[in-house]
Structure 1
Amino acid sequence: MISRRTLLAGTAALAGTALFGRPGSAPAFTRPLPPAAVPGPETIVSVELKAAERALSLPCFDGHALPMWTFADQATPPVIRLALGQRLNTHLVNGLTRPGEHVSIHWHGIRLPNDQDGVPYLVQKPVEPGESYDYSFVPPDTGTFFFHTHCNTVEQLGRGLAGILIIDGDAPEPYDADELLVLKDWRLNDDNTGFLPFLTPEGAGKSGTFGTVRSVNGMVEPDITVPASGDVRLRIVNIDPTRVSEIGVEGAEAAVVAIDGLACQPFPLRSWRMGPAMRADLVIRTPADGGTATLFDYFSAKPVPLARFMTKGPARRTTPFDPAPLASARITAPDLSAPVTPMTFSATATAQSVASAAGDDQGFLGPLCLAAGTFWAINKASWPGGGMDQIPPPLLKLERGRSYRLQLRNVTPRMHPIHIHGHSFTVLKSNKRELPPHFADTVLLLPEERVDVAFVADNPGRWMLHCHIIEHQETGMMGWVEVA
């Protein structure tokens, strides 16, 4: 069996190379990961979240108030912050008034008990308008996570129904600042006074229906003031339903210290490709007082600036950049000798059928959660188009406590961020690119790519496995695995 320490040690050897499509070289960081954080006492943090339509405005709306759907009386996602070991008690109220517009909360990336996972029909009753529901769990991992609904997600998330969950305790050496950056596009009409349709057949059958306005924390290219010559943690969360970004930083040295909330051996950042629902924690060494560094998205015809970091104050650090690593993840190391099980992610519709559907939006949308048409499949099976309540057989039946090795095979010309509930994958290798060893709950598959992952099926229950381009999920690329 290969241990977690042995697996993650390989990152240092890869860190000096251009792993992710941006040229350059930098010395590898060698400081080892500290031991896993020790949970504190189980005190209780209580939160009420009320999903409701609220007329709210964000800076990127150009002064217009739009009918957003949010969990709180604010346009930006609420942030829940806990210490490791604390219990989160959440009272969810569905204040939406559209008949049948039920909700639930999926705590994305959290390895929680199955009955708290928030998937309607599979693990809980949907929360209908006027009803409420209570969640209670102790997150087992530190890091950066988020939460969202799991039915009609393309519209509910598109209107803003999401939040951020941060579990503190993973930074034995404090950084000089800690900044949250939430990436999201908005589908707005020409004068930014209303929303465009959130799902289109043409988009669903291709790479998704993209937003028209890009934002970070609800702003277009915000300026963020940070300490000068300091090591600043950037918690980058992609909550967009569709867009894949390739993030990079210019004007500052940068390192990746965590992926999907869990620590990795720090490695120099060239660029890191993030699909919907993926997170990356960076540490940047900021410029001297009065300087500027810029976060870019390189996955475009030309780099798109996302946010600028403006430095202010005396120098916080004078030593060479060598970012403090985060505490090790509390993930059981899988047995990598387990046999490989292929999982194939494929299309079910031809281009002609997609084009035909795109010409007639009427009748395309089916019951809440799923579209009437299915364009995508896992292992040649699509979730039935009749509704989320029509649960198909599991994709896999797994024995609790056993290690499993999967080969995720994308046989389509589109990218697919594949998300597993209740577990974290150990990402091993790709047939198309070098990847650093890391943990992830959402693995981005490039076109025609095969990525090997492994995990211990140590969390019993019925767990979703799906593409997190939400239109792909809601048009068939969704299934579940059973751990018993």
Structure 2
Amino acid sequence: MISRRAFSLGSTAAGVLALAPSAIGQVPASIDTLPASAPVTRLPLVAKEIDWRLLGPDRPATRHFCAYDGEPFKVFRFNRGTRLAVDFENRLPDPTTVHWHGIRVPYLSDGVAPLTQEVIPPGGRFSYNVPLPDSGFYFFHPHCDETGQVGRGLFALLVIDSPEERKVAFDAECFIAVKDWRLGDDGQWIAMSTDEGAATAGTFGTVRATNGSIVPPRVEVPAYGDVRVRTIVADATRVIDLGCETEDAALIAVDGQALLPPVLLDKLPDGVWRMGPAMRADLQVRVGAPGTEVKIQDYRSGQPYLLTTLVAVDKGLKKTAFKPKSLPASTAPQPDLARPKKMEYLLQVSAGPTIVSPALPADDPLSKALVDSLCVGSKTHWAISRDSWSTQDALRLPPPLEKLTAGTTYVVACTNVTKHVHPMHLHGHVFRVLSSSKKAGMPQYLADTVIVEPNESVQFAFKATSGNWVFHCHILEHMDTGLMGWFRVT
């Protein structure tokens, strides 16, 4: 396996982190997305277990809840252009890593064992170089035993601000973290994964909640004001249809990237935005006169499920006509669609561990790398075009799905031939969703995760960045049981 490595903040050349070839062998260049002169903020970060009263203050505390810095649903906020020098410590009883979801980090800080680092053992430490080149709404979470650790609460929200975005004024801001919990009647954890769930739509929680509360939050906001509602599906399985009880609402950003122009929710199919695990959406919601309420709901159920209620209180604002606000354009590299290279992949059921891609050369430093058994499931249920990620049936790192060229634009046609939804996430890149075979009239948008429905083909495009990057379903049991592959970009 690749030896653990730290990063160099000062001795960079041409944006490439200085590495020790004797330690890691011949690997793709790990490209930094900020200049060496970028301001540095040191961030101590600890993963540990706590007790947390998920079922309410009068019910038993849930033991072994996982949280960063001991604070559930913590929101970290920094300015665009900052480099985080993260000093991470693992105080969990099990190995872990940290993945900076949606952030364009150098791949050696991407947190995927054994592709970019070894797992961090209990009591271990790791230094992450996390440049913040783009504003937006992101989060971070483990990428080992993700079903279990995220299932017990190990994730945090990350907001990156910029001067340009601050000029787009809102009257209030509200966070909605959709996360269910696998709890018994005594408030203690039950099995996070089941064979039946892993092989179908996923194992759903027994308790629905918003921001860790089984009572939907009520948030006071200025009457007649525009509220920026930042929603994330932090659940391992659930897919929601995000909507609200007002015509004065618009989708203004997806996965942290501005949607230009913004789109009224009423103009979207069924008046909702469908979101799967790891997906984020920013809504602009106008509230009415003092005392009125706007309910933010999940409409993907027999009865709408209330996520949060916005309660209008008098703050002296005057009623004006509703107008969607345009956020600054994304600063992420954009694909060049003039002459892209094309790739096609099937999301499919697997009868067992299967690999059809050419093996890595014997002298490749990853050719003998082993996947830690604690990071994956015990069975193989899924595959990407007949390639399955390693499980406990076969722990050798599989070969890459493709070898790509940095700076080249690729258009991926991803077709789901299974009976279940797959939200597909590409590490290290922002891609443009171009089209869907089932969602007529859907606008093109930028994202890092896209839902592919059963019998749907989705096309998306990205400009490849040097590194080893995984591509996987974010229904975590699907990922754990085969539905993950990786690209080598050189």
TM-score interval (norm. to shorter): 0.7 to 0.9
3-state SS of 2:180 partner: strand
RMSD between aligned residues: 1.9
**Match of 2:397, as an amino acid?**
I
- 8 Å CA contact retained: 1:51, 1:95: yes
CA deviation digits over 1:344-365, x for unaligned, max 9?
1101149xxxxxxxxxxxxxxx
Q: Map residues 345-360 of structure 1 onto 2, 5 A cutoff.
A: 345-349=347-351
Q: Map residues 470-481 of structure 1 onto 2, 5 A cutoff.
A: 470-481=476-487
CA deviation digits over 1:126-146, x for unaligned, max 9?
110111111122211100000
CA deviation digits over 1:210-262, x for unaligned, max 9?
01111111113111111111011011011100100001011461101000000
Counterpart of 1:293 in structure 2 is 294
What stretches of structure 2 of length at least 5 have no aligned partner?
A: 1-33, 266-270, 353-371
Alignment CA distance shift 1:340-1:315 (3 Å) = farther
Give identity over the alignment, percent.
40
Q: Map residues 301-450 of structure 1 onto 2, 5 A cutoff.
A: 301-336=302-337, 337-349=339-351, 367-386=373-392, 390-434=396-440, 435-450=442-457
CA distance in 2, matches of 1:411, 1:420: 19
Choose from 102, 107, 115 the match for 2:100: 107
- 8 Å CA contact retained: 1:424, 1:455: yes
- 8 Å CA contact retained: 2:264, 2:324: no
- 8 Å CA contact retained: 1:251, 1:292: no
**Match of 1:449, as an amino acid?**
E
* 1:208 aligns to 2:202 (yes or no): yes
Choose from 47, 50, 57 the match for 2:43: 47
Counterpart of 1:177 in structure 2 is 172
> Mean alpha-carbon deviation: is it higher for 53-62 or for 104-113?
53-62
Counterpart of 2:156 in structure 1 is 163
Counterpart of 1:57 in structure 2 is 53
Q: Map residues 133-152 of structure 1 onto 2, 5 A cutoff.
A: 133-152=126-145
What stretches of structure 1 of length at least 5 have no aligned partner?
A: 1-37, 351-365
3-state SS of 2:179 partner: strand
3-state SS of 1:196 partner: coil
**Match of 1:183, as an amino acid?**
V
Counterpart of 2:232 in structure 1 is 237
- 8 Å CA contact retained: 1:45, 1:82: no
CA distance in 2, matches of 1:62, 1:437: 47
* Aligned length in residues: 425
> How far does residue 291 in structure 1 lie from its aligned partner after superposition?
0.6
3-state SS of 1:154 partner: helix
TM-score w.r.t. the length of structure 2 is 0.84
CA distance in 2, matches of 1:316, 1:89: 42
Counterpart of 1:73 in structure 2 is 70
* 1:225 aligns to 2:205 (yes or no): no
- 8 Å CA contact retained: 1:419, 1:442: yes
CA deviation digits over 1:399-449, x for unaligned, max 9?
011111110110111000000000011000000013211001001011110
Counterpart of 1:274 in structure 2 is 275
**Match of 2:345, as an amino acid?**
M
CA distance in 2, matches of 1:403, 1:60: 50
Counterpart of 2:10 in structure 1 is none
CA distance in 2, matches of 1:202, 1:117: 30
3-state SS of 2:208 partner: strand
> How far does residue 50 in structure 1 lie from its aligned partner after superposition?
1.5
> Mean alpha-carbon deviation: is it higher for 167-176 or for 209-218?
167-176
**Match of 1:307, as an amino acid?**
T
- 8 Å CA contact retained: 2:241, 2:299: yes
CA deviation digits over 1:252-283, x for unaligned, max 9?
61101000000012100120000000000000
> How far does residue 334 in structure 1 lie from its aligned partner after superposition?
1.6
3-state SS of 1:232 partner: strand
CA distance in 1, matches of 2:68, 2:334: 36
* 1:454 aligns to 2:451 (yes or no): no
CA distance in 1, matches of 2:393, 2:484: 12
Counterpart of 1:360 in structure 2 is none
CA distance in 1, matches of 2:373, 2:332: 38
> How far does residue 60 in structure 1 lie from its aligned partner after superposition?
4.9
**Match of 1:254, as an amino acid?**
A
Choose from 114, 117, 120 the match for 1:124: 117
CA distance in 1, matches of 2:41, 2:293: 38
CA distance in 2, matches of 1:174, 1:387: 53
CA distance in 1, matches of 2:120, 2:341: 40
CA distance in 1, matches of 2:256, 2:451: 15
* 1:261 aligns to 2:263 (yes or no): no
CA distance in 1, matches of 2:481, 2:137: 28
Alignment CA distance shift 1:62-1:349 (3 Å) = farther
Counterpart of 2:17 in structure 1 is none
CA deviation digits over 1:156-202, x for unaligned, max 9?
001111111110123422111111111100111124x2011001000
* 1:194 aligns to 2:191 (yes or no): no
* 1:91 aligns to 2:98 (yes or no): no
3-state SS of 1:185 partner: coil
Alignment CA distance shift 1:431-1:295 (3 Å) = same
Alignment CA distance shift 1:62-1:343 (3 Å) = farther
- 8 Å CA contact retained: 1:172, 1:326: no
**Match of 2:192, as an amino acid?**
F
- 8 Å CA contact retained: 1:368, 1:387: no
Alignment CA distance shift 1:51-1:314 (3 Å) = closer
CA distance in 2, matches of 1:297, 1:133: 38
> Mean alpha-carbon deviation: is it higher for 46-55 or for 82-91?
46-55
CA deviation digits over 1:7-39, x for unaligned, max 9?
xxxxxxxxxxxxxxxxxxxxxxxxxxxxxxx99
